[in-house]
Amino acid sequence: MADRLIKERRLENDAWKVVPLNAGDDPAAVRLPVGPLLVPVAVWQARKACLIACEYEHGWPLGVWLDPSDDPAAIAADIDDFTVIGVHFPKFTDGRGYSIARLLRERYGYKGELRAFGDVGRDQLFLLNRVGFDSFLIGPGRNAEDALAAFDDFPEVYQAGADLPIPLFRRRAA
């Protein structure tokens, strides 16, 4: 069964296949399954021509994912090639993915689906959404249906964010 994904505040089945890259793996030799793929940045850089050919030949959407240590500038020139950009959260305590999301949205102008995956739980969803994520693959052992309520945890926000670019005091004055 496909993993359950929260996308635009709705539950959906997830058809995307996340291609792992383990320590010592050669990015140019990683096996690529058929279908919609989320590949690590190193695989994208090593197999770009092959991945684009599969996208055009078979009509499979293409995505890339970044680890917390990856620099989003590495994909900036290719950003329009991706249907989805994923950001991996190996531990819920690692906040570097929040900064990656802001950079992708604000500096590099990414408009497509921005997905948080890995050790992602309900407590993070509200703030992940504020920095630009619009889809979330909830971590193993967590309830995706329960996590949907996180978007309503705070009825008002004061600061501007990717979800509301105008701060509350300016919205009220208008």
Backbone angles phi, psi at 136, to 5 degrees: -145, 125
Model pLDDT, residue 138: 87
User: Which residues lie below 8 Å from residue 56, measured CB to CB, with a gap of 6+?
Assistant: none
Model pLDDT, residue 107: 95
pTM equals 0.88
Q: What is the pLDDT of residues 9-59, one digit of tens each?
A: 999 989 899 999 988 999 999 999 988 999 999 999 999 998 988 887 888
Q: What is the pLDDT of residues 67-114, one digit of tens each?
A: 999 999 999 999 998 999 999 999 988 899 999 999 999 999 999 999
Does 144 have pLDDT greater than 60?
yes
Count of other CB atoms within 10 angstroms of residue 107: 11
Model pLDDT, residue 1: 38
Burial class (CB in 10 A: 0-12, 13-18, 19+), 77: exposed
Q: Which domains does the chain have, with CATH numbers?
A: 3-173 (3.20.20)
